[in-house]
Each structure stands twice: as structure tokens, then as C-alpha cells.
Amino acid sequence: MKNKKAQIQNMETITVVIIVMILIVIGIVYATNQKKASLTEERERTKDIEAMTTATNVLSMDFLKCTRGSATRETCIDYYKIKALNNNVFKEENYLHFYRLFGESKIEIKIIKNITGKENENITIYSLEDTENKTSIIIKTPITIEDAVWNINYFGIMEVTAYR
């Protein structure tokens, strides 16, 4: 009889230990999940900021702007500079610099040369697309493109597609 009582008491103690352990495990799992959720949210927000930063980096590229001596014209891009950038951007020694600046994005400039659209020119100055499972933010900015040799100012649109 006493033996049985002791056995029951032991069982009770073991049950309590197991319950306490289960509660601790549940607590740890819950805390981890909460932390994971907040980290995912934070990561999404950071990616949004990164996409916006890429767009800002493109729009603030001083070296692409139209210049006359030390004077710079805002929202005006030099036709020959974008052509030059297009030829240089993926050279091995330059690649890392532009990747750090633009990341996974596509930067395209549409030059509208006439209304019919026949002679319009599209220049992709940078393109590193990795669209798999990724959403994108597209930012379009109207700009002036100056061909200083022929003294013509074209209307153009700079389209920045940033992937995240």
C-alpha cells in the first residue's frame, strides 16, 4: 500500500516536472516566434528604404548632369555622359562600384525625339535584374537630355526599377 502511495507521489512529481518543462518550452517558442516576426517586418522595411535609396542615388548622380564649367543644371542629363556610362558600367573594374550604388535594379532612360515615336531612343544605363520571387518599385522622373554637339534638348523619362 505504502509502496503504491510512493509510486503515485513519484508520478505526480514527474508530471509536475514535465508540465513545467512544457511551459518553459512553449514560452521559448512563443518568444522566438515574436522576435522572428518583428525581424521579418524590420527586414521588409529596410528593403523598402534600400529601393528608395537606389532611386535617390540615380537622381543625385552629379557626373551625369549637364555642366558648363563648374555650373550644374539640375534635372538635365548629358546625352554623351549616359552613352559613356552605358559603355563603362559593366567593365570588370567598375562593376562593384555601380553594384554598391544601384544594387539589383534597372535604370532606363527614354529619350523622346519626336511625337511619332519612330526615332525615340531607349538607353539602359544599368541593369541587374533578379526578378525571381521579388517585387519591384518603379520610379519615373521627367528629365531633359541635352545633346550639346547639335544643341538640342530632348524630353526624356528616367525609369528606375528597384527590386526587393
Partner 1 sequence: MKTSKKAQVEISFNWVFVLIAGAAILFIFLRIIGTETEFAQTATQRRAIHDMTSLLTVLQQNPDSISNEKRINYLLEFNCNTEGHSYGIQGATNPARLPHQIIFSPKTVGEARIVTWVKTLRTPYPVSSILYLTDHETMYIFLKDAGQTAENYYDLFPEEIPKTLTTANNLNDYEDEGHRNIIIIKNTDAKIDYNLIKNNLDTRKITHVVSINNNNEVKFINIQNTNEEKNFGSLTEELVIGAIITGNPNLFNCTLNKALDQTRIITDLMLERTKLLNTAYGSNPCNTYYSSINQNTFQDLSNAARNKQSIYGYVQDIKNLNDRILRTNCVPIY
3-state secondary structure of 57: helix
For 128, other C-beta atoms within 10 Å of its C-beta total 16
The length of the chain is 164
- DSSP, res 116: T
Select 101 or 112, whichever has its Cβ closest to partner 1.
101
3-state secondary structure of 2: helix
Q: d(Cα 16, Cα 10) in Å, to the nearest integer?
A: 10
Select 88 or 131, whichever has its Cβ closest to partner 1.
88
Select 57 or 161, whichever has its Cβ closest to partner 1.
57
Print the binding letters for residues 66-105 with partner 1: x by CB under 8 A, - otherwise.
-xxxx-x-----x-xx-xxx-xx--x--x--x--xx----
Q: How far apart are CB 88 and partner 1 at their closest, in Å?
A: 6
Select 89 or 161, whichever has its Cβ closest to partner 1.
89
Edge-to-edge order in the sheet of strand 71-78: 65-68, 71-78, 136-147, 152-163, 105-112, 121-127
Q: What is the dihedral of CA 155, 74, 158, 58, to 10 degrees?
A: 160
Q: How far apart are CB 133 and partner 1 at their closest, in Å?
A: 26
For partner 1, the binding residues (CB under 8 A) are 2-3, 6, 9-10, 13, 16-17, 20-21, 24, 27, 49, 53, 56-57, 60, 62-63, 65, 67-70, 72, 78, 80-81, 83-85, 87-88, 91, 94, 97, 100-101, 148-149
